[in-house]
Amino acid sequence: MNERIFDLVSKANTGLLVTGIVVILLVFDGVITSLPFYNLQSQQEFQIGLFYGVEVFICAASQFIYLKIIKRKYSTTSSRGHLKKFADTVYSVVSLTQYFIIALLMVTIIEIGILREYDTFTLRISILLSLGLSTGLSGLLALRFFLWTRYRRDYVVVAYSVAAIVLALNSTFVAIFISLEMQNKPNLIDSSRTAITSTMVVNYDIKQFQSNLSFASFVSLWIASIFLLRHYRRKWGLIKFYSIIFIPLVYYLGVLQLVVSSVLVPHNILNTFQLYSFNVINSILTRPVGGALFGVSFWLLGKRVDDKNISNYMKFSAIGIILLSMSNQDAGLYLLPYPPFGLSTVTFVGISSYLLFIGLYYTSISISLDTELRKSIDKSVGAEFKFVSNIGRYQLERDIEDRVKGITKLVAKELEANSGVEASPESENIQEYIRAVIKEKEKMLKGNNSPFRIYPIDSTPCGRSWDEWVQLWWKWCYSEPIEKSPTSDDSGVHCSRGQIYEKVWFLAGTFGGPPAERTCKIPEGRSIFFPLINDFISFATDPDLKTEDELRAYAKRDLDEARSLYLRINELELRDLNKYRISTSIFELAISPKETSGIPVTTQAISDGYWIFLEPLPAGYYRIKFGGEKLEYDKMQMSMQQNSEIPKFRVDVTYNLEVI
């Protein structure tokens, strides 16, 4: 698939649409073999085989799309060092496993289409791979939650820890049960298979235990969702809140199922088999009903957070938990129906577990690496959802503890070697060290002691004045067509275009509009030059201006409106940015006129703005966030005349840089 498809799908609304289609297909996948018309004759019909093929193809394509969306988003994460290696390893394992499962799904379709049969060995491998992947990822998530709870007993985190553990156990016992049930059964299943309603469960005790685990996983997610949504009691009102909260559980327990079934279809018109089938279908529908509640917890949380990345990560978790609540089951596959309906459902359990894991994991990593982001989330979300900022703080404390322990072990070994005195790296004072480190780190963030150096504004970095570098930056900015310009780039794919200077690397702002996040690799040893917010005024773009003084005055008045300048590198906020304002001398620039998209014209221009010129960064990973806002000066008079709000021009850019 081409990049435009993935750009489209990665948008929240389209991603939600894809998930909606998948949910509908999984519902049909789970109920079709329980329908009254599904018998020996119907399972041999061409339409049933065609429906199965289309269903499997759409589900496989959806899994492929999810992996691509995750890859694109995960490639822009701020994680680095051992965190990035861990993320790379997990993604590689998940993607390879899921692609292999997709390949096995295609093999099953081919077998049914050509041979009118399928091999149960292929089926079993697909099931075990998906459930094994889910067990591993749920276990990793439970471990992550457990490590976070060591630093503070947050009952929301504890609730999700329990839910993750139960989900992992449920996946394990589903795999055990299906494997045992499929023993001593035919290796090949064809369209002449006896109706599955006559199949008996052999390992009933394990089935019953797994059913109890399934119920426990549902209840644990339900309780965790209540904790997460509890602050909506005041907003929704007690009656509405508890009605919404209790409907999934009451429905799951079967109380509402009997009421709904008797209302929809009077029981006296159904025979015994039809009534059984209808109630089975009604019972299966509890999973999407519960999943909707579990997912909406994260979806609402994501919508409340202003940061685009955190919002997307939480929506990943929302999608993952909806699909996981539906797919973490045996789906009747132990009955070996023809075609193998239920297989698509089970193969989603791995990818849905990964969506849940990756959403929460990257949320914690992103917040732990960005102090200002934690403050922003606290401010925008407030007391309603401390869960988001808390997991970031727990991750930060975890990272610091790992580093402190590593240093302590190294010092202990040196002390033993030099003095013969045994030193324990697991000191009882380790938590005091961690608190001291965090305290000193916060002091450094509030001060100006930054390890990142900016050239003095009156210096001549790399042999040129700041004025000259500004002019060269503008020429670089307009040297590429708009569709390939680093300034209009949303991902960083074009960040290396036009980088012709041996000692300086340009970064771009935006043309205003929504925030941009870019991933870029730059060579070690290059200084980095970029604007916080800027503008240029030219005779071509503003033909009413006739002299250099008029250009300069216009540019000055425009940038006098600049506000809220900021620059953060990793967790450090660099201050005193107002002193880096530059108004250039007049220079020539080739641009396309605003009123046309024609041939570039050469004109004279003046630039005014706030710029940063960083000294070369050591090799490593860096997250640079910068921007600001100003009034759109050329629209001020019109707005004032109409008594309307003056529009604002905002720049909000994040670069995930790897210096190599």
Q: Is a pLDDT exceeding 80 seen at residue 432?
A: no
pLDDT level of residue 416 (50, 70, 90 thresholds): low
Measured CA to CA, the distance from residue 545 to residue 381 in angstroms comes to 47
pLDDT band at 559 (very low <50, low <70, confident <90, very high): confident
3-state SS record for 1-67? CCHHHHHHHCCHHHHHHHHHHHHHHHHHHHHHHHCCCCCCCHHHCHHHHHHHHHHHHHHHHHHHHHH
Burial profile 317-330: b = 16 or more Cβ within 10 angstroms, e = fewer: bbbbbbbbbbbbbb
H helix or E strand, kind and range, residue 651: strand 648-659
Q: Within 13 Å, how many C-alpha atoms sit on residue 528's CB side?
A: 24
- The Cα angle at residue 508 between residues 570 and 624, in degrees rounded to 5: 0
H helices of 305-342, in order, are 308-327
Cis amide prior to 339 (ω within 30 degrees): yes
Q: Where are the alpha helices (DSSP H) in 328-427?
A: 343-368, 371-381, 386-419
pTM for the predicted model, two decimal places:
0.59
**177-221: pLDDT as tens digits:** 888 888 878 888 888 776 555 566 777 788 888 888 888 888 888
Using an 8 Å Cβ cutoff, are 133 and 94 in contact?
yes
Phi-psi region of 13 (alpha: psi -120 to 50; beta: other; left: phi over 0): alpha
Q: What is the CA radius of gyration of the chain?
A: 30
What HEC string does 432-480 produce?
HHHHHHHHHHHHHHHCCCCCCCECCCCCCHHHCCHHHHHHHHHHHHCCC
Give the pLDDT confidence score for residue 157 in this predicted structure. 76
- What's 613's DSSP letter? E
Q: Is the pLDDT of residue 428 over 90?
A: no
Predicted local confidence at residue 447, as pLDDT: 46
CA 633 – CA 56 distance, rounded (Å): 56
73: CB partners within 8 A, 6+ apart: 10, 309, 312, 313, 316, 362
pLDDT, tens digit, 9 for 90 and up, residues 104-161: 999 999 998 888 889 989 999 999 999 999 999 998 888 877 776 665 666 777 888 8
pLDDT for 527 beyond 80: yes
Q: Quick one: pLDDT at residue 491?
A: 87
Confidence (pLDDT) at 468 = 94
Answer yes or no: is pLDDT of 639 > 50: no
Residue bearing the bigger pLDDT, 245 or 171: 171
Q: What distance separates the 2 farthest-apart alpha carbons in the chain?
A: 92
pLDDT at position 485 is 83
Is residue 551 within 8 A of residue 545, CB to CB? The reply is yes
Average pLDDT over residues 608-631: 90
State yes or no: pLDDT of 374 exceeds 60: no
- pLDDT score at 100: 95
Each residue's pLDDT tens digit, 213-233: 888 888 888 888 777 777 677
pLDDT for the residue 567? 92
pLDDT value of position 655: 94
- DSSP per residue over 212-252, as a string? HHHHHHHHHHHHHHHHHHTTHHHHH-HHHHHHHHHHHHHHH
Sign of the torsion angle spanned by Cα atoms 309, 311, 317, 319: negative
Evaluate if residue 636 carries a pLDDT over 50: no
User: Which residue is listed with tokens 């929504």?
Assistant: 514
Q: Do the beta carbons of residue 308 and residue 19 sit within 8 Å?
A: no
Average pLDDT over residues 13-36: 77
Instruction: In whole angstroms, give the CA distance from residue 509 to residue 512.
Output: 8
Say which residue, 87 or 183, is predicted with more confidence: 183
First to last CA, the chain: 31
Nearest C-alpha neighbor of 39 from the set 269, 204, 271, 274:
274
pLDDT band for 471, please (50, 70, 90 cuts): very high
Report pLDDT for 369. Answer: 55
Q: In the prediction, which pLDDT does 140 show?
A: 87
- Residue 633: pLDDT band by 50, 70, 90 thresholds? low
Question: What percentage of the chain's residues is helix, strand, coil (to nearest 5)?
Answer: 60, 15, 25
The per-residue pLDDT for 257 is: 47
The pLDDT of residue 577 is above 80: yes
Return the higher-pLDDT residue of 178 and 444: 178
Q: At what angle do helices 12-31 and 308-327 cross, to 10 degrees?
A: 0
Mean pLDDT of the 409-437 span: 51
Determine contact, residues 124/182, Cβ cutoff 8 Å. yes
Q: What is the pLDDT of residue 58?
A: 92
Question: Crossing angle, helix 155-182 and helix 343-368, to 10 degrees?
Answer: 150
When pLDDT is cut at 50, 70 and 90, the band that residue 375 belongs to is low
Helix (H/G/I), strand (E/B), else coil: 427: coil
Range 434-439 contact pairs with CB under 8 angstroms and sequence separation of 24 or more? 434/397, 434/400, 434/401, 434/404, 437/400, 437/404, 438/396, 438/397, 438/400
Q: Is the pLDDT of residue 294 over 80?
A: no
- Mean pLDDT computed over 230-259: 66
Q: Which residues on adjacent β-strands are paired with residue 582?
A: 609
Of 265-279, 332-346, 624-638, where does mean pLDDT reach its minimum?
Answer: 265-279
Q: Who's near 307: CB < 8 A, 6+ residues apart?
A: 366, 373, 376, 377
Residues whose CB is less than 8 angstroms from the CB of residue 499 and which lie 6 or more positions away in sequence, other chains included: 476, 505, 506
Would you say 77 and 655 are in contact if contact means Cβ atoms under 8 Å apart? no
Beta-strand pair 601-614/527-538: antiparallel
Task: Tell me the C-alpha distance between 74 and 265, whole Å.
Answer: 48
| The Cα angle at residue 101 between residues 100 and 103, in degrees rounded to 5 | 65
d(CA 552, CA 556): 6
Q: Average pLDDT over the chain, rounded to whole?
A: 76
Chain centre distance of CA 632: 33
- The predicted-structure confidence for 564-574, as pLDDT tens digits, reads as follows 888 989 878 88
Spatial distance between the Cα atoms of 630 and 652, rounded to a whole number of angstroms: 12
What pLDDT is stored for residue 520 in this prediction?
Answer: 92
**Looking at the chain, how many residues does it have?**
660
Domain residue spans of the chain = 3-387, 461-659
Q: Which of 49-53, 415-419, 448-452 has the largest mean confidence?
A: 49-53
pLDDT surpassing 50 at residue 341: yes
Residues 593-618 have pLDDT tens digits of 544 455 678 889 999 999 999 999 98
- Neighbouring CB atoms inside 10 A of 497's CB total 16
- Half-sphere CA count of 488, side-chain side, radius 13 A: 8
